[in-house]
Amino acid sequence: MDSFPLVHKDNISGRVWYFKNITEEFNARSSLENSLDIQRAITEASDDGMLVEDTNRNIITVNQVFVDTFQITQSTNELKSISALEALSLGAPFISNIEEIGSLVNNISASSKETVNALLYLTDGSVLDMNSFPLIRGDDVHGRVWYFKDITEKHKLAHKLSFEATHDPLTKLMNRRGFDEILKNTIETVQQSNDTHALLYLDLDHFKIINDTSGHAAGDIALIEISKLIGSLLRKADLLARVGGDEFCILLNNCTLTGAKDIGEKIRQAVDEYIFTWGDKDYNLGVSIGIISLDVTVNSYEEALNFADTSCYLAKEEGRNRIHIHTTSDQAVMQRLQQGNIVSQIQDALRANRFCCYVQKICTTKTASLTTDCEPCNYEVLVRMLDEKGNIIAPYQFLPPAERYKLMHNIDHWVINNSIQEMATIQDYFGWLSINLSGQTIANEDTYQIIVDAIEASGMAANKLCFEITETAAISNPKVGIEFLEKLQALGCKIALDDFGTGLSSYEYLKKLPADILKIDGQFIKNMLDDELDLAMVKSINEIGHLMGKETVGEFVENADILNKLQELGIDYAQGYHLHVPCSMQSVLDEYLPNDIKANLNR
């Protein structure tokens, strides 16, 4: 309602009364005021830094968390009526990327309906997730909300996971997975340019002697020292990676073949002169090096690795502790030499049945405190190869070549048939038997039927079997992998994801892969008592696994303190040398089988 007089020649001759229906405007204003009251309450109660701007880009509400986060000396009331950009500028000395953030905030118009997301890096090492969205009523923008969430720990964990997925935990060098990706990108770049790089494949000579005579702890220290030694001889642009037990790769960027040979010779000479001391023992090592030039003639990173690996092998065959540069005739030479290498030994062992099964207990944490408390238990099958004299060949010596030369599925099939046949006789005495399957085995079209036939022939109950796979094996061909695993589950078998947590995509694939059990990567378990991030990772995997109805297993349980922590966290099962040192499957059969059955089996 409004009113004004009618004036004529300075005299009031009447009055006009004006009535306008402003119900819609009144309701909108009341609604906005109520909305802002609610927003103020939310802002003040939030644990995150928050502020709200009106359509004139003036702050109408801001909380104390925002002021404290950016160490602003003004009060929240003093910040009202300035913009978000101006408020952030007050904290500029403490924001490492203030120019980038300032430009982003400044480019958002008052009427913009777009959302904003960016990371703020503070000078104290903190990381904030900045988000902004418009306040929209109907089709109109009435303001904008900005909030700043502290994600420092989450960011550190993501960085740690990314690092661990692509780096070797022992030497901190890049691992095979990370190196393959960089080499692949390098080869693709070479195809489009005239750049020339070089690839070196290194294999330490006589390293096994250290492990055999002084133990793996000594071998680990030697690997760390040699890694540092080799790294000290490289240029800043070069990349050193550990791609196997005692094998390394080096990518020499923008390097000719002559330059690569010079660097390779420096490395060979330095390792040759290096003496590793452990206790009262001194060890002399050597290194065999294969070199290949990376130019337009190289078709793929797989081809480059194969040629470099072959050249390294030929360097060993030529007497060790030397360099072999790749030539076009190397592959033919390699084929002739394979008669006497580990590949032939694997093939001979398959023909002569020279493999044996070991087992290691997987104990429930509800009763596990000593090795005697593991009953009833589960077992993981571990394969060993025997040489012609019956001596055991360690898995690290024959499994990588078996993978490389496509023999892994043959070994896995042998394990499936023999372990199921043997352990079926004592299936009443254990929970489940866990058998590892490689990516090659999953992709092999005969594997499923071999498992079915082994179950039927042995009388083993399908629910007594668990098949372990790694994320990498499962997702190398997702469609085939998932279909295969679902068929095994339909039989009644369990599926376990091994080394879970090493990949950044772990949780994403967990939603897709049919799995009953998560085996938490042993590196997290091993270090969790001394590393808060590893502990957080173990907790996270366990909680999410349970939320999805899956059981969890902690690997690498090496002492009572680790076991106690697993029990405290509620992890379902534990596995490691503290609970059980792997033993021959035959010794387990001897423990459980009645004498009359053993006598019949031995006839």
pLDDT digits (tens, 9 = 90+) for 256-286: 999 999 999 999 999 999 999 999 889 999 9
C-alpha distances (whole Å) from 217 to each of 211, 222, 230, 384, 528 are: 8, 9, 20, 22, 19
Contact 14, 5 (CB under 8 A): yes
Residue 90 has pLDDT above 90, yes or no: yes
Q: Hey, which bits of 206-263 come out as E strands? A: 239-242, 247-252
Residue 303 has pLDDT above 90, yes or no: no
More confident residue, 432 or 3: 432
Task: Give the range among 98-102, 359-363, 477-481, 596-600 with minimum mean pLDDT.
Answer: 596-600
Residue 241 has pLDDT above 50, yes or no: yes
Question: If pLDDT is split at 50, 70 and 90, which confidence band does 202 have?
Answer: very high
Mean pLDDT of 143-150: 91
Phi, psi of 278 (to 5 degrees): -135, 110
Question: If pLDDT is split at 50, 70 and 90, which confidence band does 45 have?
Answer: low
| pTM, 2 dp | 0.55
Q: What is the DSSP string of 539-558?
A: HHHHHHHHHTT-EEEE----
Task: Check residue 338 and give its pLDDT.
Answer: 53
More confident residue, 70 or 479: 70
Q: Hey, which bits of 197-353 come out as E strands? A: 197-205, 239-242, 247-252, 275-278, 281-284, 286-294, 323-325
Virtual torsion, Cα 488, 493, 494, 499, nearest 10 deg: -60
Task: Check residue 340 and give its pLDDT.
Answer: 44
- The Cβ of residue 182 has, within 10 Å, a number of other Cβ atoms equal to 15
Separation of alpha carbons 72 and 41, rounded Å: 21
Helices (H), 318-394: 330-337, 342-352
Separation of alpha carbons 241 and 193, rounded Å: 25
DSSP code for 243: -
Each residue of 240-251: b (16+ CB within 10 Å) or e? bbbbbbbbbbbb
Phi, psi of 421 (to 5 degrees): -60, -45
Contact 574, 565 (CB under 8 A): no
Residue 358 has pLDDT above 60, yes or no: yes
- For the chain, the helix, strand and coil percentages under 3-state DSSP, each to the nearest 5: 50, 25, 25
Domains of the chain: 23-150 (3.30.450.20), 157-340 (3.30.70.270), 342-585 (3.20.20.450)
- Give the model confidence (pLDDT) of 319-340 as tens digits: 889 999 988 776 655 555 454 4
Separation of alpha carbons 81 and 572, rounded Å: 56
Burial of 82 (0-12, 13-18, 19+ CB in 10 A): middle
Task: Check residue 339 and give its pLDDT.
Answer: 41
DSSP code for 394: P
Q: What percent of the chain has pLDDT over 70?
A: 85
| Structure token digits, residue 152 | 């420092």
Task: Check residue 11 and give its pLDDT.
Answer: 56
- Give the model confidence (pLDDT) of 521-534 as tens digits: 888 898 899 988 88
Contact 523, 556 (CB under 8 A): yes
Phi, psi of 344 (to 5 degrees): -65, -35
Task: Check residue 508 and give its pLDDT.
Answer: 63
Separation of alpha carbons 516 and 466, rounded Å: 9
Question: If pLDDT is split at 50, 70 and 90, which confidence band does 292 have?
Answer: very high
Q: Among candidates 540, 534, 476, which has minimal Cα distance to 509?
A: 476
- Give the model confidence (pLDDT) of 10-34 as tens digits: 555 555 555 555 444 444 444 444 5
Question: If pLDDT is split at 50, 70 and 90, which confidence band does 475 have?
Answer: low
Residue 99 has pLDDT above 60, yes or no: yes
Contact 357, 322 (CB under 8 A): no
Q: What percent of the chain has pLDDT over 90?
A: 54
Contacts within 8 Å (CB) and 24+ apart, 560-564: 560/369, 561/529, 562/525, 562/526, 562/528, 562/529, 563/365, 563/368, 563/369
Residue 535 has pLDDT above 50, yes or no: yes
HSE at residue 68, side-chain half, CA atoms within 13 A, is: 9
